[in-house]
Structures are given as structure tokens and as C-alpha cells.
Amino acid sequence: MVAMALIAFSLPAEKRFLIPMALLCALSITGQQVVLIMTAVDRGRGQFGMYNVRRMIATAAFPALLLATQLTLGVTLSIACVLFVIASFISMVACVIGLRNPLRGASQPEVSTLLREGRPYALSMLATDVFERLDLMLILWIAGLQDQG
């Protein structure tokens, strides 16, 4: 929700036509957060094999989809945005493979504890994501489309 609000705020008037595609790409943030959480759990448990596999899948999914699509159909900005969301979904699926009852059953620790204790982590990740992309928002405001390439 925050990302979607920032999209509407950050795009200057001459680039408002990009809002639908930016909103579509914002859907991938959930997948990115799932990957971060699952890889953090893997690292905390010392399961570096699973950590590496999940990171590799999450990192390679979008470039692999983009390359395969370019070689077969060609890529437009709209297609790239859809592929970005699909790559995020693939990353989320990779995180739950091998888990027993990943979407139901008992949780250890309890979900309420995870939500309460995970709040500072979520806030720090939100701040990190915003500040990592702040340069891009500034470029969108300052440079014209031709200058951006």
C-alpha cells in the first residue's frame, strides 16, 4: 500500500502514464519480502544450502524470464512488468517448497508473536526499500524520458 501511494506521489505529471505499470510492479514487493523473511530464517537456522538455493532462484527468476521471453516473443515495457510480478511469484513458491503445511497448521512461534516482534524488522525493510529507490524517484522527477534512455 505504501509503495502504491508513493508511486502516485513520485511520478511527475508527464510520466503519469507509467502509473498502471508501476502499480503492477508494486505487487512484487510482497514476494520480495517473503523471500527476505524465508532466507533470514534459513540463515538463522544455519541451513545455508536452502538459503543459497532460495537466493539463487529469487535472483535468477526475472532475468531468466526476461531472456526467454525476448528470444521467443520480444519484450515490451508491459510484458517486462508482468514478468517482474511472475518472477516474484516464482520466488515465493521456491520459499515454500519443502515445507510441511506452509499455509496452514500450527506455527512456531505463534503468528501473533511473529507479527509483534517482526514489526521493527518490517519497518527497517520499508525504510531500506524506500531509501534504496529514492535515487530512482529523484531521477524520474529530474530527468526527462529521453535522458533516462
**Mind listing the pLDDT tens digit for each residue in 85-129?**
999 999 888 888 777 776 676 766 676 776 677 777 777 877 887
Phi/psi region, residue 11 (left: phi>0; alpha: psi -120 to 50; beta: rest), is beta
Q: pTM for this one?
A: 0.69
With a pLDDT cut of 70, the percent of the chain lying above it is 83
pLDDT confidence band for 149 (50 / 70 / 90): low
pLDDT confidence band for 33 (50 / 70 / 90): confident
pLDDT at position 146, please?
56
pLDDT at position 131, please?
78
Q: Is the pLDDT of residue 132 over 70?
A: yes
